[in-house]
Amino acid sequence: MKYLIAGIAITSQSKYADRWTNMDEILKQNSMEVKPCDRHDIPRHDLKRVQQHCIQCGVCMGNYFCSKCKFFDDDVSKNQFHCDECGICRVGGEENFFHCNKCGCCYSTLLKDSHICVEKAMHHNCPVCFEFLFDTMKGITVFPCGHTIHLECVKEMERHFQYSCPVCSKSYCDMSRVWEKLDQEVASIPMPEIYRNKMVWILCNDCGETSEVNFHIVAHKCLKCKSYNTRQTQGGPSSCSSRIAEMVR
């Protein structure tokens, strides 16, 4: 078992272990509920000098060592690397990532020429679980719209048949088969005579176009991109998102 205390990796089986008889108790003393002056943690970025090897006995504190972050880790299989622009150490191998200056974060090289830049894209909380994304240890995915979110949160959304970005409401996957089903359902349900000529204005969440279309109780189709991911802006009941979820099922 290893613990990172004040920037030093301590192994419970090493000669240093007898200094810490109860690691759980020490970790409790580092709780946010404890006053800062009473905690046992030292903010590692405030340390002036940290070395990978002890100058007295030569013991290695960690196989991976970052002098900028004052960070140690023995598990080098994570392919840690330091990003100067991010100011933190990341995992996954430096050759597999690039830093986007506009987005202000590191992305996979697979997205280098294809992602949409969103300023400080990861300097905010996940829109689903509200955990801060920039330094999260969980997997992150980037939607076609450029917004970022935890991968596990995307999977949770899909379990609830939600396929649009929770930030901007754009569809993040191919919904063409769902739109075809909605075409069929709209065609199979004629509106009563009183609503047959009723017109409403809609805003398309996918392309941003506004259109005036015939009112229908099921859904409203964008005249430009043919998406049903729309919201009604004038003229009656609003969104058809719940109906889209039913069609996906």
Assigned domain for 82 exists: yes
**113-145 per-position pLDDT tens digit:** 889 999 999 999 999 999 999 988 888 899 999
Structural domain including 60 reads 51-99
Residue percentage of the chain with pLDDT more than 70: 76
User: How far, rounded to the nearest angstrom, does the alpha carbon of residue 40 sit from its chain's CA centroid?
Assistant: 31
Q: State residue 72's pLDDT score.
A: 85
Q: What is the number of structural domains in the chain? A: 2
Assigned domain for 210 exists: yes
Share the mean pLDDT of the chain: 82
Helix axes 241-248, 176-188, angle to 10 degrees: 110
Amino acid at 198: K
Mean pLDDT value across residues 159-175: 95
- Does pTM surpass 0.75? no
pLDDT above 60: residue 207: yes
pLDDT above 70: residue 24: no
The residue from 99, 127, 161 where one domain ends is 99
Residue 14's CB is within 10 A of a number of other CB atoms, namely 12
Q: Per-residue confidence at 50, pLDDT binned at 50, 70, 90?
A: confident
Mean pLDDT value across residues 44-51: 74
Q: State residue 245's pLDDT score.
A: 56
Assigned domain for 237 exists: no
Assigned domain for 168 exists: no
Assigned domain for 217 exists: yes
Return the closest-CA partner of residue 84 out of 96, 73, 94: 94
**54-112 per-position pLDDT tens digit:** 888 888 888 898 888 888 888 889 899 999 999 989 999 999 999 999 999 999 999 98
Q: Per-residue confidence at 34, pLDDT binned at 50, 70, 90?
A: low
- Alpha-carbon distance 214 to 69, whole Å? 60
Q: State residue 239's pLDDT score.
A: 46
| CATH number for 219 | 2.20.28.10
Assigned domain for 24 exists: no
Q: State residue 117's pLDDT score.
A: 92
The residue from 38, 69, 99 where one domain ends is 99
Q: State residue 52's pLDDT score.
A: 84
pLDDT above 70: residue 37: no
Assigned domain for 46 exists: no
If one compares 91 and 42, the residue with the highest pLDDT of the two is 91
Return the closest-CA partner of residue 216 out of 229, 197, 233: 197
- Alpha-carbon distance 154 to 149, whole Å? 7
- Alpha-carbon distance 218 to 188, whole Å? 10
Q: State residue 85's pLDDT score.
A: 92
pLDDT above 70: residue 176: yes
Q: Residue 36 is encoded by which pair of tokens?
A: 């800062």
Assigned domain for 11 exists: no
